[in-house]
Amino acid sequence: MSLNSQNSTETENPKNANVQWGGRFAGGPSEIMQAINASISFDKVMWKQDIAGSLAHAAMLAHVGIISKEDEATIRKGLTEIGQEIAAGNFPFSEALEDIHMNIEARLSDRIGEPGKRLHTARSRNDQVATDFRLWVRDAIDGLNQQVAALMRSLARRAEEHAATPMPGFTHLQTAQPVTFGHHLMAYVEMLARDRGRLADTRKRLNECPLGSAALAGTSFPIDRKMTAELLHFDRPTANSLDSVSDRDFALEYLSALSIMAMHLSRMAEEIVIWCSSPFSFIRLSDAFTTGSSIMPQKRNPDAAELVRAKTGRITGSLVSLLTVMKGLPLAYAKDMQEDKEPVFEATDAAALSLAACDGMVRDMTANTAQMRALAGSGYSTATDIADWLVRVLKVPFRTAHHVTGRLVAKAEEKGVGLADLTLQDMQAEEPGITDDIYSVLSVDASIASRTSEGGTAPGNVSAQAQRWLKVLGAEPTAAGQ
């Protein structure tokens, strides 16, 4: 249908009108207005939260005597049956009724009559939507928190397994110093722990109940907002009715936390892509997390990792989208805020899928320990160990030791050998005090074992950190760590 034809289609049939608005809009909206105004296509995912909010509201109304106990029982039975109907896929969702809230309320009135029409007493769609949305985000946080913990457990188990497996540590993607593969994996455990903390903080701040704020000014009915908050497991009612219906900080904070987490997952995914590449060959992923090429039969492409990396754009884009929606809105509610949900729903789906993919890849990957060890000593990665030895044994100032080590690296490059292959005479030519004890620090294993400072890469440190996190996360250490 063309735009012109849509403009000319003004529905005259009162049956197409939203019956909840009564006679004022009896002519019904145009097709364009209906399309832009309706949100049922996406907000129907909040049906559980909407029913829970309505059950709590009805219980409170009966408790304070605004509706009868009999009406509350009838409403409860009707809402329970509607929940069963939606769960079974038999609910007749209507775009004409705009959103999940109106769809459920209209269905309730159809099923139980007058008691259903009393449910909306002392509330507005504004505080109803705000409450449902908070409930949905809270549930989403709880689900993602479990997924983050699962990924942390998988990483910690693999880290414990590879607590002593050498690999090159990089800065600027250039070989810097030897570390262990387990130490590298544990870095992501720490990142994800901060992500869990941000989600927990978000949950704590959002856990206030807007229900009872009504449209924007509160209500004249003698409601009990504390009761409603308790029934819905909120910590307390919100304090200001204007803020209650117009606040979407909780959604923005949630998207911000997801964006930071997505960035962490993207960094992990990028490293998996690099580690799978032929020049590195640090790990191998099975067919479960790779795809082939349509013309190159030898290819094994890490598509799962690449897609995790790409989904970061969806998640950070959702944050920017909602920030843009909210930035210029005067108090209190405006219809712009209907655009708050799709970014949150989409970001949640992308985050959940990314976490599942990362967890699967971590559990699936096979480490090429020989390749990691071979490259751990490349690029003169133990040069810092020479400088440390000069400071520790000969009491040379570190800056002087740095210069001496630099000259030794240059000499090794000139000869085309590794640092451990320089003769004692070569070394003493740069620093006469050097003894053959210096060779004790030049191996990859010696370098790694020496990094015993708290948070360092020494295998004992890594194993202890992995076991500590597994205990925190409620998982048993693997046999390698026992």
> Which residues are catalytic, by number?
172, 293
Place of tokens 């108090």: 331
- Count the alpha carbons within 13 Å of 365 in the hemisphere toward its beta carbon: 32
What is residue 68's three-state secondary structure?
Answer: coil
Residue type, 22: G
CA-nearest of 351, 323, 322 to 339 is 322
382, 419 in Cβ contact below 8 A? yes
- How is residue 46 written in tokens? 């909040």
Cα–Cα dist 170/158, whole Å:
20
User: How many Cβ atoms sit within 10 Å of the Cβ of residue 226?
Assistant: 14
CA-nearest of 132, 133, 128, 138 to 216 is 128
Name the helix (H) or strand (E) containing 42.
helix 40-43
Cα–Cα dist 80/58, whole Å:
13
Cα–Cα dist 196/303, whole Å:
26
- Give start and end residues of each alpha helix (H) in 162-180: none
DSSP result, 297-339? TT--B-HHHHHHHHHHHHHHHHHHHHHHHHTTPPSS--GGGGG
